[in-house]
Every structure is written in C-alpha cells, then in structure tokens.
Chain A
Amino acid sequence: DAGVTQSPTHLIKTRGQQVTLRCSPKSGHDTVSWYQQALGQGPQFIFQYYEEEERQRGNFPDRFSGHQYPNYSSELNVNALLLGDSALYLCASSLFEGRGTQYFGPGTRLLVL
C-alpha cells in the first residue's frame, strides 16, 4: 500500500517564476493538506482540499493556490516566486470523516534563486 507520494523531490527556480507541486494521497484518503516548512521551523499550514474545494486556508498570500482532482490527488501552485518561498513543501493526506490523522509525504524541496 503506497503512502503519500509527492513530485518532484527537488526543484530549483528563479525569482518571478511559477511552480507546480504534486501530491497523491494515501490509498483510501480523500483529503489533502499542504504545509510549508522553512529550515529549522515547524510546518506552516497553507490550505486543505476536500471534495475538490479549498476548505481551510492559512495565512498565505493569493500567490499560493491549489487544486484537487476527482481521484483526490492535488497540486500546489506558487506564482511570482520570492526568495522567501524556498522551503520544504509537505503534503499530508487524511480521511475527512472523523478528522483522521494526517499522514505526510516525503516533501518537495524548493530552492528559489
């Protein structure tokens, strides 16, 4: 049983560019949450998707957007990249019903130059 998968594993971009990160949830899960983890910090909640809708959003600008597909996979898009967007981006999947435990993927490490 595959766990949460994310792609790509690493990415290098320059300021002003746009990036798309992808996540496939654990089998049986229907909810995907995205987190940003800067070096030496705890993960910060970006948003959560369920039934292809954004359900909750953290304190992130509109440059951060997402999407969830009918197969529950999800994308995180970041526009107009800033140096400060360099971080590990973590996807977590869970069951919406019963507020199940969130299981994290391996992450995508983004470096903005």
Chain B
Amino acid sequence: ELKVEQNPLFLSMQEGKNYTIYCNYSTTSDRLYWYRQDPGKSLESLFVLLSNGAVKQEGRLMASLDTKARLSTLHITAAVHDLSATYFCAVDRFGRSGTALIFGKGTTLSVSS
C-alpha cells in the first residue's frame, strides 16, 4: 500500500526566513504533485514533478524530486505572509486502468512578521 508522509505537519515561520517541507513516499511512483489549500478553500495545483532530479520553481517556492530516495522537498525562500496555507504533496498511484492521487496529511504553514 502506498503511503505518503509529510513533515513537519505544522510550521511557524518568520517573514524573510527559509525553510523546507519534506515528503516521503513508500513505493515507486513516477509522478508527484504539490498542492496548496487556503482555509475553507479547495486545492490549487502548484507543481508536478515527473522525473528523478526534477526541479521546479515558482516565485518563492521550489520543489524537487528524488525518485531513488522516494523523497520530494518544497523549499520556501524568504517567506512572506501570503504563503500562509496548508501544503500537500500527492503521489500518483498509477494502475492499468486509471490513476489515484495519494495525499500526505499536509503541512500547515503560518508566516508572521
């Protein structure tokens, strides 16, 4: 059974600081997603990582994937308040007839001045 673990689950940061969220998964997968969820809202797609060594950046967020270690990271650079949200990683459990996203529990990020 595919399991996805994120840590930390809660993260309180000061504006301007850097930090990394980790996502480990238990079985081989060739596709990993990062989503953002604001309180009471739906999920917004941030990144899709398709291959070993893939790195994607958008603004102050950078995501990377190491398929051999079954590890993805989401790095936050010089945090600002607008980044406060819950971040989920999800691994694609691909079967012969369809796909399913298996999510971690999420990391709730709070950025304060």
Question: Which positions in A face B, CB cutoff 8 Å?
Answer: 31, 33, 35, 41-45, 48, 50, 55-56, 58, 90, 92, 94, 96, 99, 101-107
Contacts and interface: CB of A to CB of B under 8 A. Distances in A.
B97 A105 contact: no
A50 to B, nearest CB: 6
Given A42-B104, A45-B102, A56-B100, 19 more contacts: A33-B100, A35-B103, A41-B106, A42-B88, A42-B105, A43-B101, A43-B103, A45-B93, A48-B98, A56-B97, A90-B42, A90-B43, A99-B92, A99-B94, A102-B33, A104-B43, A104-B45, A105-B42, A107-B42
A56 B43 contact: no
Where chain A touches its partner, the secondary structure class is strand
A36 to B, nearest CB: 11
Nearest to A57: B100
A99 B42 contact: no
Where chain B touches its partner, the secondary structure class is strand
A107 B97 CA distance: 25
Interface of B: 4, 31, 33, 35, 41-45, 48, 88, 90, 92-95, 97-106
B48 A101 contact: yes
Contacts, number: 65
B42 A45 contact: no
Given A90-B42, A90-B43, A106-B42, A43 B88 contact: yes
22 contacts: A31-B98, A35-B103, A41-B105, A42-B104, A43-B90, A43-B101, A43-B103, A45-B100, A45-B101, A48-B98, A48-B99, A50-B98, A56-B97, A56-B99, A58-B100, A90-B43, A92-B43, A101-B48, A102-B33, A102-B45, A102-B101, A106-B41
Contacts of A35: 101, 103
A75 B47 CA distance: 28
A14 B98 CA distance: 33
Contacts of A43: 43, 88, 90, 101, 103
A101 B35 CA distance: 11
Nearest to B108: A40
